[in-house]
Chain A
Amino acid sequence: MILPWGTKAVAAVTLMLLAALISLLFEGAGRLVRARGERRVGPPLFQPFYELVKLFGKQEQLPQDDPFRLHHGGPLIAGALSLTTFLYMPVGSLPPVLTGGGDLILVVTLLFLASLALVLGGSASDEATSGFDVEGELTLLAVSSLPLAVVLSSLAWFAYRQGLPGAPFSLETFVAKPVWIVPSWSGLLGTFILMVAFLCLLPLQAGSLRLDLFEGLEVRYSGRGLLLFRLARYFRSLALSALAVSLFFPGSLGRWLGLQESVLLAIDFLFFWVKVFVVQMVTLFGTPVLVGRFRTDLLARFFALAVTGFALAGLLLLYFDVRF
């Protein structure tokens, strides 16, 4: 479906605004889920909205030595990049606002750059300990890139070899025909393993794991800077969950119910966000309750060896599926 530029611009702005609102709402719900998991009552559902207003009016401590304005620039860029990814994602049965043959690579790159921008923003700090945080975050970003690359390239290769319609590195390809319906048992198992590996990566990529004793980069921010930092994190979390849904849970509820046209679009639109909600709650808010605080080196070893190995096992199973 080719939309005129004016319509595209309106759709893009509307979608990004909606994604921003939903990310705040999901953050509020996620905090409740985490609190209940930790046997706490938890904050109100709209707490992130209240914080938004509160932080906007708070005094801010800015670093003395920040010639490139990375302290604010990092989160700003990260937020913008994360929201941009929604333009390439099919939302339910709606086509993406922008398309291209390699949009999967583009989305992943944008999210990677968003993470990098947040780390750079956090590094612009007068705190003596910021070096350790940045070092840790960059290490984890690096070690999680390998399994992520294995998962995505395995899926693309599998889509290509199975003859799925569309470009192998296009999100629309995975949404149009879910990878689950193509393979045999070995392929199904391989896809399942790749999905688990991808979902394992989400908390790390979204920065929702409590890593070290310095409580991450967030403690470097205050006032409006903190507001920007948090918003960037919320947007990135939502974008990662939406990517997981597009790759592994793309089904259409409307078609299954036999709905037509606008009702189909509306139901699938809502269904998409429900799936994103479930993925986000389970992976980004549920998992940290179970695993607690991780030590950076243990986590790095886990992702570099265990998750990468797991993803390679998935690739091997897909290979067997294609070959035999």
Chain B
Amino acid sequence: MIFAPEYASLATSHQEVLNCLIEVFGEDLGTPLLDEGRPSGPVITLTVPASRLLAFVERLGEFDYPHLSSVSCEEREDGVILHYDFSLFRASSPGEGLMICVALSPQEQKGMIPSLSGLSPWAEYAERELTDRLAVEFQGLENRGPLLDRREEPTVPPDYVVLPLAAAGRTESFALAVRLVRGRIGSVRFHLGSLHRDVETLAMGGDSFQALPLAERLCGSCSFANALAYVRALEDASGFDVPRRARYVRSLFQELERLSSHLLWLATAFHGEGQEALLAATLALREPILDVQEKLTGKRSVSAVVAIGGVRVDLSRQGLETLQSMLAVTRRELRPFRDALLRGGLLRCRMEHRGFLPKAEAVRHGAVGPVAKASGLPVDRRSHSPYEAYGELDFLPLILERGSGEAGGDVFDRLLMRVMELSQSLDLIEKIVEGLPEGPLLAVPKRRNLVGALKEADGRGLGAVEGPRGEVIHAVTLHAGQTALSSWSVTSATRRNLSLLPRLLKGALLDDAMAIVNSLDPCLACVECLLPLKAGEELTEGGQRR
């Protein structure tokens, strides 16, 4: 199936979307519920029989490109419930995101569950993970091999070459092997598993408070995004109304993190191209941002700002002064930097026309973040489903178009997109500081009351934020009377963008491979730490579970 790239809108409201779905699927959808007042934004919750899952997703494709945002599971006594969360960004009108949460009950899974990997390639990883973990069988899943391969020396066929990712400034243990056909890359294999930490299983032992530091440490450069998404999922499940000042503070730290992450990425990209002087210049540009974080929170990274129902730290006057001077310095330094990039030169010559990702392919693969935007796909949760203070900041998602109006999408465009996002983040920070309201920082200041509120929560909560690399989604399930998590699943941006890798590398020259891999800004820490083991399970030397 090919989704229409321009997404003719068939509905005028979220209710009409639901009505259209009911019209086609009738009672198969169980008791569908549209909730427009949830903290995570408008959500339609429904069930779909496994036999009609593919038809359902194809129907969603008529409204908008249905981004498969996350696949998660919830273990119950009667079996496993599978959850598929789809994001529609323009189903009823542009700028009004709609989340469609589909549940497959254990009774519906008696037959085989159809694999969504044909419609959304990244679903392959999620399905293999579920096969690994819960022995769920997916019909049509081509690669059924274990997702987690913890062998230190992954077996690589003799005609494959392992790419040295460290040469491109990537420090992740990510065994990427390619097979060359007439000097160009023919096929790609990669192994995950070296960074596995099984964070989700760790979190199951404690209560939902204890999992917050774990969420913060899933990744270094999108620590805040993960913490915020986790907290928002809890708030979504328990219905907290976060104070306005806290929402502004959260947005501020999100943008600071974006600045820091993009500059770090730029530095690694320059290192990969052998431009060490630019690497040093970019890292120097990042220093004032880390200084601001230090001034505001006492920490340069993993700032522990976010709390359930608000934030832990306020913006001090001294911190705001440092922030203002950082804005002035970064703006001044960034302009010539961006102009020099646009003018061209060796770097442009090296990066242009490599790793081209057309808009239609970005849609098919469910690309997110700067990768999607560089291909002309305006996917940005900050504007489509505004959360925290973004709804009040009045901004549009950036997309990159060439002079002729044709969408870009090569390695250089992805670099430019991140540079453009730097400017946008500076603008947003300025707006946040200007409009910073007075008021409390926590919805429920006393911990005892907070625990009580969390114990009352019963159901599934979603927290979706636009991290530096794209959409980060956390899904949690809480049961009444408990503060412990019943389930927690994380879908990082890299997990979705990683499925682009074989597509982008195919046909590329070996010399371009590093630049292409780096242009996706893959964060293997985000992906691998989440691959779970069952309680009591261990990995054998061969990477199998026992």
Contact = CB atoms under 8 A, between A and B. Distances in A.
Given A132-B510, A298-B350, A215 B167 contact: yes
Nearest to A289: B277
Interface in A19-50: 37-40
Given A213-B511, A215-B164, 19 more contacts: A37-B277, A38-B276, A39-B277, A129-B161, A132-B161, A210-B274, A212-B511, A213-B513, A214-B167, A215-B167, A291-B274, A292-B274, A292-B275, A292-B276, A293-B350, A295-B350, A296-B511, A297-B509, A298-B349
Contacts of A39: 276-277, 280-281, 284
Counting chain A CB atoms within 10 Å of each CB, which of B272, B275, B277, B281 scores highest?
B277
Interface string A282-295: 00000011011111
B259 interface: no
A212 B510 contact: yes
Interface string A279-317: 000000000110111111110000000000000000000
B279 interface: yes
Contacts of A215: 164, 167
Interface string B272-314: 1111110111001000000000000000000000000000000
Contacts of B277: 37-39, 289
Interface in A184-225: 210, 212-215
Contacts of A293: 272-275, 350
Interface string A69-81: 0000000000000
B164 A213 contact: yes
A38 B279 contact: yes
Interface string B100-135: 000000000000000000000000000000000000
B136 to A, nearest CB: 37
Which applies to chain A's interface (DSSP): helix, strand, loop or mixed? loop
A1 interface: no
A128 interface: yes
A215 B163 CA distance: 11
A110 to B, nearest CB: 29
Given A213-B511, A214-B167, A298-B349, A128 B161 contact: yes
A292 B347 contact: yes
Contacts of A289: 276-277
Counting chain B CB atoms within 10 Å of each CB, which of A37, A40, A295 scores highest?
A295
A296 B513 CA distance: 13
A292 B509 contact: no
A72 B272 CA distance: 30
Interface string B341-385: 000001101100000000000000000000000000000000000
Nearest to A38: B276
A202 B1 CA distance: 55
B164 A295 contact: no
Given A37-B277, A289-B277, A214 B164 contact: yes
A202 B260 CA distance: 39
A31 to B, nearest CB: 12
A232 B401 CA distance: 50
Counting chain A CB atoms within 10 Å of each CB, which of B163, B274, B275 scores highest?
B274
B512 interface: yes
Contact of A295 (B168, B270, B280, B512): B512
B509 A213 contact: no
Contacts of B162: 128
A127 to B, nearest CB: 10
B273 A40 contact: no
B473 interface: no
B339 to A, nearest CB: 18
A298 B509 CA distance: 12
Counting chain B CB atoms within 10 Å of each CB, which of A132, A214, A292, A298 scores highest?
A292
A292 B274 CA distance: 4
Contacts of B68: none
A234 to B, nearest CB: 21
Interface in B79-117: none
B524 interface: no
Contacts of A38: 276-277, 279-280
Contacts of B512: 295
Nearest to A296: B511
Interface in B153-212: 158, 161-164, 167-168
B514 interface: yes
Interface string A84-102: 0000000000000000000
A295 B272 contact: no
A20 to B, nearest CB: 28
Interface in A250-299: 288-289, 291-298
A215 B166 CA distance: 11
A215 B274 CA distance: 10
Interface in B319-347: 346-347
B349 A213 contact: no
27 contacts: A38-B279, A39-B280, A39-B281, A40-B276, A128-B161, A128-B162, A129-B161, A132-B161, A210-B274, A212-B510, A213-B272, A213-B514, A214-B164, A214-B167, A215-B167, A291-B346, A292-B270, A292-B273, A292-B275, A292-B276, A292-B350, A293-B272, A293-B274, A293-B275, A293-B350, A295-B509, A297-B511
Contacts of B163: 213
Contacts of B510: 132, 212-213
Contacts of B167: 213-215
Given A213-B167, A213-B168, A298-B349, A288 B161 contact: no
A65 to B, nearest CB: 14
A288 B274 contact: yes
Contacts of B273: 292-293
Counting chain A CB atoms within 10 Å of each CB, which of B163, B273, B281, B511 scores highest?
B511
A289 B350 CA distance: 15
A212 B168 CA distance: 10
Nearest to B167: A213
> Top 10 A-B pairs ranked by shortest CB distance?
A293-B274, A39-B280, A292-B274, A38-B276, A292-B275, A295-B511, A210-B274, A213-B514, A213-B167, A38-B277
A214 B512 CA distance: 12
A123 to B, nearest CB: 16
A297 B161 CA distance: 19
A292 B278 CA distance: 10
Interface string B432-470: 000000000000000000000000000000000000000
B504 to A, nearest CB: 16
A293 B511 CA distance: 10
Contacts of B511: 212-213, 295-297
A217 to B, nearest CB: 14
A295 B508 CA distance: 12
Interface in A122-157: 128-129, 132
A26 to B, nearest CB: 20
A53 to B, nearest CB: 27
A157 to B, nearest CB: 34
Contacts of B276: 37-40, 289, 292
B517 to A, nearest CB: 10
